[in-house]
Amino acid sequence: FKLSLFSQHQKVHFSEALVVCFFNQVRRGYGKANLLGVKSDNDDYSRVQRNLAERISFEDSIKSYREDEVGSVIDFLENRVWDGIVSATSCLSLESAKNKCDVIRQIIARRRLDWTSRILGSHYSVVGRGGSHKEARHDEADSTFKVGMVVYVNNWMEAEDPRPPYSGVATVNNVFRDKFDRICLGVSLPGGKSICCVPEGVISEPTEDDFVEAPRRMHSNWLKWKREESHPQKRESRQLVLEKMRWDSSHFRNLLSCNQSSSDMHSRIMDSLRWEVSEELLYLLVKDNRLHHPLNDRHWCPISMRLLTRSLHVVADNIIPTHERKESSYEDVLSACAEKLLVILREATEAVRNILALDKEEAKENFLRYLAFHEKSVSECGTEQSSRYYLKAESEVTPHVSVEDCSKGQTTLDENFYLIHQVLFVTHALASLIDWNNFNNRGEG
């Protein structure tokens, strides 16, 4: 991304840099973080954890924006990002591209744009409702002028009022009908005075010249109203832009069928998309507090992380469409997905029990690492100071035991902990994300 975008103080420029960074950043595997075990994007676990943190940061930033700021981000995506991604992910680009890695990155960007548009759309509808005017009453709906609006009163004063006729700006307090069924307005004047009944016919919209002697706050309110007059049209237009950015399953099927001779390319595209959709699922798990610190070896053992990865890919494969898959009813898709998840769950359960049943010390120490957690300590300067692998024991006095001590038969591992918290809990958390009544295989999630 361009650092120059950060040189300006308006939040919209920070938003543009945030979006560009979110779509383009790639970790090469060097720098200070690399000293702490953070690997490059070639390592799936490191890449997913970094991307999860960026997704959380991105949504938190968007949630702090006002309606006009969210609109600016949407406009930036449409004007600076959308056309380039569409062009780069066309069939012609796939066939003629010299660097296949760039094509894959663009397809991933296309999928990430779908996720981004949903985050933006969700927040945009919330701030749009919050910034819109209250529902108008019947009388107000019949009038051109609304409560809170700044208007111009043309030479009017009520007959029984001793004050001279008033000409100038005023703020609408209420809209009603008089005894002759005429629409009238109650207005507030500068200086705290008011007129209770002003016929709609003597009121017009003010101009800039009418605010020469008016309070500055009244002029600011008038400018705000003028801006908000165009908001409904802008909201509708931007919502259409966000809809346009949604993931198009039919386009992706056509893209895969453009160049069927390149099976390796298709395989790489599918694998990258499988991980991208897995990130989206993991994000939902973290956001809803269903799963904490996923794929973190301090909290999950290798068997558990492998179980989660395989399960995520099973669900992702049913979300990503392919040109080879035949159309199936969602009942069939659900059945196949559930069956595969159960198979993975059984294999993980058997793996835990088989490792705990091993007797040979040398073999046992090697296999015990599949149940181990990785604990690191960091020095004040930020470098890794020490590292050890430990297991969860049954003993409440010493719940953590090293792999070496356990392999010598000095302790008993907590089988229930591994089966429930490291195996069953992972599968349950992921399965709880699926709407088992409406899950489909059309790429809509």
pLDDT recorded at residue 336: 84
Residues 136-188: tens digit of each pLDDT: 455 555 788 888 889 999 999 998 999 999 999 999 999 999 888 889 999 99
pLDDT recorded at residue 381: 57
pLDDT recorded at residue 131: 46
pLDDT recorded at residue 445: 42
Q: What is the DSSP track for 369-399?
A: GGG-EEEEEE-TTSSEEEEEEEEEBS-SSS-
Q: What count of Cα atoms within 13 Å lies in the side-chain half-sphere of residue 354?
A: 10
pLDDT recorded at residue 41: 64
Q: Are 158 and 164 in contact (CB under 8 A)?
A: no
A 10 A CB-CB count for 188 gives 14
pLDDT recorded at residue 197: 93
pLDDT recorded at residue 11: 44
Q: Which residues of the chain have pLDDT under 70?
A: 1-41, 92-100, 128-141, 229-231, 256-262, 321-330, 360-363, 377-386, 438-445
- AA identity, residue 10: Q
The residues near 442 (Cβ < 8 Å, ≥ 6 apart) are: 249, 321
- AA identity, residue 318: N
Q: Are 175 and 183 in contact (CB under 8 A)?
A: yes
Q: How far apart are CA 430 and CA 287, in angstroms?
A: 13
Q: What are phi and psi of 184, to 5 degrees?
A: -130, 160
Residues 347-384: tens digit of each pLDDT: 999 999 999 888 766 667 788 899 999 887 655 555 55
Q: Are 186 and 172 in contact (CB under 8 A)?
A: yes
DSSP character for 413? B
Q: What is the pTM of this model?
A: 0.69
The residues near 415 (Cβ < 8 Å, ≥ 6 apart) are: 352, 353, 356
Q: How far apart are CA 278 and CA 339, in angstroms?
A: 19
Question: Terminus-to-terminus CA distance in the chain, angstroms?
Answer: 30
pLDDT recorded at residue 176: 92
pLDDT recorded at residue 96: 63
Q: Which two tokens stand for residue 20?
A: 């560009």
pLDDT recorded at residue 213: 87
pLDDT recorded at residue 282: 94
pLDDT recorded at residue 414: 93
Q: How far apart are CA 158 and CA 184, in angstroms?
A: 12
Q: How far apart are CA 3 and CA 233, in angstroms?
A: 33
Q: How far apart are CA 272 and CA 56, in angstroms?
A: 21
pLDDT recorded at residue 45: 80
Helix (H) or strand (E) holding 1: none
Q: How far apart are CA 208 and CA 388, in angstroms?
A: 72
Strands (E), 284-354: none
Residues 278-299: tens digit of each pLDDT: 999 999 999 999 999 998 899 9
